[in-house]
Amino acid sequence: MGHFINVGDENSTSIDLYYEDHGSGKPVILIHGWPLNCDSWEKQVPALLDAGYRVIMYDRRGFGRSSKPTVGYDYDTFAADLDKVIRELDLYDTTLVGFSMGGGEVARYLGVYGSKRVNKAVFMGAITPFLLKTSDNEKGVDGAVFEDFQNSIAKDRLAFLSTFLSNFYNVDVLKGSKVSEEVVTSSWNAASVASPQGTLDCVGAWLTDFREDLKSINIPVLVIHGEQDRIVPIENSGKNMPHFIKDCKLVEVKDAPHGLNWTHSEYINPELLDFLG
């Protein structure tokens, strides 16, 4: 059974984050991607526990078992939510691991709150440094792509999720070898019960510029990214990270899709443990 941490209110209802806290040792906080929940770390949790770490994971507001407000889907709020989790559990010497949009929480948290309680950070398939193509970010993704996402979600969220998850796992290439139909179905089930408002609003949040946050990071960083990531292309994200972070190791995972923490866990977990150790 999980527990809840209150992070605010919306009118007469409280906004509570669902979290799980397992094992003992140095804490590792796992921050999931969109539009899933913390169950998506299934392949990493046993490896971390076996290696002697305390594993904490939570469902982002609007997703999983957390409250589903219609407000707060921006990175200043997401980072404040993470800060409340860290303070409520009084964690120090922590490693933050952010997958996909979870990398945004890691960047903004360190940019705003610093590294007093955090000693290492991992960005996995993350949306950092800055996804949107602008005059000073030529390698970014055209804004029209995100508008199409938003239009498709507004029109038929559930159909959109099916297409999205096919590209999340590169099902056309990896089905049967690296991912089963059941895993994709399970991900769709998790995504389908997320807040419709939160699912939509998060797309706008992905366009946050994290470059200044990253420049302030003064702890060791591991970046793991799939070479065949169709959701967050490595050229627009992972490969740019060492330009902004002093102590940064980039691991490019051959043939890996966006959802590489499931499909390529046998490759990723040793990299993660090696970095933590």
Q: Please identify every residue annotated as catalytic.
A: 100, 229, 258
Q: What length does the chain have?
A: 277
Check if the beta carbon of residue 158 is closer than 8 Å to that of residue 189: no
CA–CA gap between residue 70 and residue 63 (Å, rounded):
12
Torsion of CA 150, 151, 155, 158, to 10 degrees: -40
Beta strands 13-22 and 3-10 are: antiparallel
Strand boundaries in 79-217, DSSP class E? 94-99, 118-124
CA–CA gap between residue 139 and residue 239 (Å, rounded):
11
- What's the first-to-final CA gap in the chain, in angstroms? 29
Residues 6+ apart with CB under 8 A from 166: 172, 184
Burial status of residue 71 (CB atoms within 10 A of its CB: 0-12, 13-18, 19 or more): middle
User: 3-state DSSP call for residue 138?
Assistant: coil
Check if the beta carbon of residue 61 is closer than 8 Å to that of residue 223: no
4, 20, 31, 174 from 14: Cα distances, Å? 11, 19, 21, 41
Beta strands 54-58 and 13-22 are: antiparallel
